[in-house]
Chain A
């Protein structure tokens, strides 16, 4: 089973500033297709998870370009530029390279 480790587990950001969340996997998520099988999700309070980024860096439809994913292999980063109040919630990384798919512990983002 691939272990996913996120950091930090919580962060508070002033609106307009940027935020970064790290996700590390215990094995490389780089598939032989050249894609990293790593997704980023946001779960807003009281809501279902929503996909932000797939395949490491591909923004999902409707996701603002303030959100960007980067990294390869075992180290990945989600960056949120110009944080807004609507960005609060818990962010999860998810590896889908091999079953069982595994989530990171989650990072709670709050607004200062």
Chain B
């Protein structure tokens, strides 16, 4: 059974960098069968696609975040990560990691941007 778990700070100060890691169990990122995804959900809002990464490091990003976003993969740890720089309150959201567009998705982690 494939499971994903997000981890990282729940509070980030404005202008700093938001860093999250997704740990995958029950599947190997390096088998190349899927992309691995990040989405987010601002409080009371809909789902927003952030980006995806392939085991090789190939990425696709949401253009609205591209200038601030880096998604990376560590196949040795079976993890992939998200870094979002220069955050503002608008980046406060529940962040989910998932397998491709098919899921499953992690339980989500709430990140608040506040001083």
**Are the chains A and B members of one assembly?**
yes
| Most chain A CB atoms below 10 A, which of B49, B63, B104 | B49
> Interface residue count for A (Cβ, 8 Å)?
22
Complex interface bits, B41-80 against A, C-beta within 8 A gives 1, otherwise 0: 0000011110110000000111100000000000000000
Q: Which residues of A contact B39 (CB under 8 A)?
A: 49
> Interface residue count for B (Cβ, 8 Å)?
20
Please determine whether B52 and A103 come into contact, CB atoms closer than 8 angstroms.
no
Question: Which residue in B46, B63, B106 is a CB contact (below 8 Å) of A100?
Answer: B63
Question: Which residue in A1, A50, A54, A92 is a CB contact (below 8 Å) of B47?
Answer: A92
Please determine whether B62 and A100 come into contact, CB atoms closer than 8 angstroms.
yes
A106 to B46, CA, bound (A): 6
A 60-112 contacts with B by CB, 8 A? 60, 90, 92, 94, 96, 99-106
Tell me the interface secondary structure of chain A in the complex. strand
Please determine whether A101 and B105 come into contact, CB atoms closer than 8 angstroms.
no
Residue of B nearest to A37 (CB): B101
A contacts, CB < 8 Å to B: 1, 39, 41, 43, 48-51, 54, 60, 90, 92, 94, 96, 99-106
> Can you list the 7 inter-chain pairs with the closest CB atoms, starting with the nearest?
A99-B60, A48-B105, A96-B101, A101-B49, A106-B46, A103-B47, A51-B103
